[in-house]
Amino acid sequence: MSVGIDHQLGIPDLVLNCNHAAKFIGLKSPIPYRLREYGVNDLKYGMNFAFGGTGVFNTLVSDPNMTTQIDFFQELIKTNAFNATDVESSVALVTLSGNDYGAYEVRNGTAQGFPSFITSVVKQLKVNLKRIHGLGVKKIAVTTLQPLGCLPRSTIKSSFQQCNGTENSLVSFHNLLLQQAVAKLNNETKVSTFVILNLYDSFMSVLKNKGDQTGSTKFENPLKPCCGGISSEYYCGSVDVNGTKKYTLCDDPESAFFWDSAHPTQQGWSAVYSALQTTLKHLNY
């Protein structure tokens, strides 16, 4: 999960590829929060508050969750790293990658309890969005969850031939609750302060069409990753005690939509953002 703040748009790391998001709206990618002291001159481009593997709640990593990430942003406002004018003329981009749900499963969460947990995640996400607005940000974009059931870690069970419908139905429930939450927030503010970036539909469009909207990029089997472990006990990047690689790479990464079990390639992200381009450009107005 991440929160990005920029004079035009905050670009998060992790699930959303910051380079492509910035590219499609003509901005330089914001400096990561951890590097803020080394890039004072780049603060005018905003800041990326992302921490990989995090969520709205505490997950399986020790890095700060979204609430703490917003604390960091608030502290920068207090110290005048970002003044009121900066904040008011900014757009925040908030993304959720599903790490909360992955942690729920690892912690032996039940299938029956999933809907209730999803509800709590979206409820906290709504609180966070409202808080960011309360700090002075006038425009806030939030992404839907991508189709987690189409990630290679799920499609490997079908030899990368089909998505997991059960997982995607849960994702759809999350996205429905998010849409309802955003509608309520916009009703409270009386203007369209909050905008949804539909990652789910963008992903599904690329996967269905095996390429981007223009047809210039094609993926032979978009569900199959370029990089993967040689067996179930290994993953992309695995090596044994002798340093021997325990993973394989495809011959042409640009022909693959997914890089590994969860993340798109550069070409994959480009195709996704091509589908989001119109919405992204509207954030500048």
Average pLDDT, consecutive stretches of 10 residues, N- to C-terminus, the chain (285 residues): 35 46 69 80 82 94 96 94 89 91 96 98 98 94 96 96 97 99 94 91 95 81 96 93 95 94 92 85 69
3-state secondary structure the chain: CEEEEECCCCCCCCCCCHHHHHHHCCCCCCEEHHHHHHCHHHHHHCEECCCCCCCCCCCCCCCCCHHHHHHHHHHHHHCCCCCHHHHHCCEEEEECCCHHHHHHHHCCCCCCCHHHHHHHHHHHHHHHHHHHHHCCCCEEEEECCCCHHHCHHHHHHHCCCCCCHHHHHHHHHHHHHHHHHHHHHHHHHCCCCEEEECHHHHHHHHHHHCECCCCCCECCCCCCECEEECCCCCCCCCECCCCCECEEECCCHHHCCECCCCCECHHHHHHHHHHHHHHHHHCCC
Domain that holds residue 116: 2-211+266-282
Q: Is residue 254 part of a domain?
A: no
Dist CA 93 CA 194 (whole Å): 10
Residue 76, token pair as written in the block:
């920068």
Query: Hunting for tokens 């032996």 — which residue is that?
Result: 108
Residue 119: predicted pLDDT:
99
* CATH number, domain containing residue 76: 3.40.50
173 located within any domain: yes
Instruction: Count CB-CB contacts under 10 A for residue 111.
Output: 9
Decide if 198 is inside a domain. Answer: yes
State residue 4's pLDDT score: 37
pLDDT of residue 41: 75
- For the chain, the farthest-separated pair of C-alpha atoms sits apart, in whole angstroms, at 62
Residue 46 included in any domain: yes
Quick one: angle between helices 199-209 and 165-189, nearest 10? Answer: 140
Q: Assess if residue 220 is contained within a domain.
A: no
Whether 66 is in a domain gets the answer: yes
CA-CA-CA-CA torsion for 248, 252, 255, 258, nearest 10 degrees? 30
Q: What is the spatial distance between Cα 269 and Cα 259, in angstroms, rounded to a whole number?
A: 10
The CA–CA distances, whole Å, from 26 to 8, 22, 40, 178 equal: 10, 6, 21, 28
Domain-embedded: residue 225: no
Amino acid identity at 44:
K
Amino acid 99: pLDDT: 94
Residue 106, domain member (yes or no): yes
196 contacts 95 by C-beta, under 8 angstroms:
no
Give the integer Cα–Cα distance in Å for 72 and 88.
17
pLDDT for residue 28: 76
What is the count of structural domains for the chain?
1
